[in-house]
């Protein structure tokens, strides 16, 4: 049986989600920033060996990381904005991984495979959780935000390493690749914690608090009814 504190926490999360508007005028700028950032990063990673492509990928990735801060600063947090932001992050990262995998020598395939696995599992769990219980908030926790930031940083650094190598900057290339590897290693623990939380929600451990409370009330009512019937039978005997 779950503790009252955990139920209260889930109720607070659900209430905040319901109070948050799906769309608002204030939410337009950060949502546009998400869309533009995702588009720029995806366009740039198609040809990151050119200055134009590398700049578009880097600037787009940074823009996409600032949308949440802009939304909180302007009071423009909306459900639509969060959906666009989280979906854009997954699209951007998975598309970047695919293009880097095609290039073959931009980043180690073990790193790309790890990033792809984490994000694919998270996306699948998010879909299942939304289907099973759409009232549960799926906003990424702190571990998820740290993991995504480290993954994007790693991909940018590996891309920078490839760009520098093709332009004869071998020392800069080695440094960027080493830093990219460190960023990837730093992402492992928070990514694991984040994915574990996604799996936990998808497995049903975080059930709808209202449904849980209703079922608990029903169970108690049935238990009391059974007890009273037994008492009545005993009194008649």
Q: For residue 173, what pLDDT is reported? A: 95
Both 180 and 223 in one domain: the answer is: no
Residue 34 structural domain: 4-206
The encoded tokens of residue 54 equal: 């590398």
Both 235 and 119 in one domain: the answer is: no
Both 129 and 80 in one domain: the answer is: yes
The CATH number covering residue 162 comes to: 1.20.120
Both 158 and 185 in one domain: the answer is: yes
Both 196 and 222 in one domain: the answer is: no
Q: For residue 162, what pLDDT is reported? A: 94
Interval 86-127: pLDDT, tens: 888 888 889 999 999 988 789 999 999 999 999 999 989 988
Both 202 and 118 in one domain: the answer is: yes
Both 55 and 142 in one domain: the answer is: yes
**How far apart (Å, rounded) are the C-alpha atoms in residues 37 and 82?**
14
Give yes or no for residue 12 having a pLDDT over 60. no
Host H or E run for residue 22: none
Q: Could you give the C-alpha distances from 180 to 35, 142, 228, in angstroms and in order?
A: 25, 21, 68
CA atoms within 13 A on the CB side of 170: 0
pTM of the model: 0.72
């Amino acid at each position: 049986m779950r503790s009252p504190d955990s139920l209260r926490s889930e109720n607070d999360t659900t209430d905040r989600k319901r109070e948050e508007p799906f769309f608002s005028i204030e939410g337009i700028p950060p949502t546009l920033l998400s869309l533009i950032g995702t588009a720029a990063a995806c366009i740039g990673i198609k040809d990151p060996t050119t200055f134009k492509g590398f700049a578009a990928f880097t600037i787009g990735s940074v823009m996409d990381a600032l949308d949440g801060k802009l939304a909180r600063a302007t009071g423009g947090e909306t459900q639509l904005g969060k959906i666009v932001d989280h979906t854009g992050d997954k699209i951007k990262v998975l598309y970047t991984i695919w293009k880097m995998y095609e290039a073959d020598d931009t980043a180690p395939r073990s790193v790309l495979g790890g990033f792809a696995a984490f994000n694919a599992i998270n996306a699948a769990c998010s879909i299942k959780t939304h289907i099973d219980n759409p009232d549960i908030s799926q906003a990424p926790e702190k571990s998820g935000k740290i993991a995504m930031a480290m993954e994007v940083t790693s991909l940018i650094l590996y891309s920078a390493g490839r760009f520098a190598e093709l332009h004869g900057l071998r020392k800069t290339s080695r440094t960027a690749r080493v830093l990219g590897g460190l960023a990837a290693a730093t992402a492992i623990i928070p990514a694991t914690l984040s994915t574990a939380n996604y799996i936990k929600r998808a497995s049903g451990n975080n059930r709808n608090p209202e449904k849980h409370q209703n079922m608990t009330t029903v169970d108690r009512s049935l238990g009391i009814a059974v007890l009273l019937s037994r008492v009545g039978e005993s009194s008649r005997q």
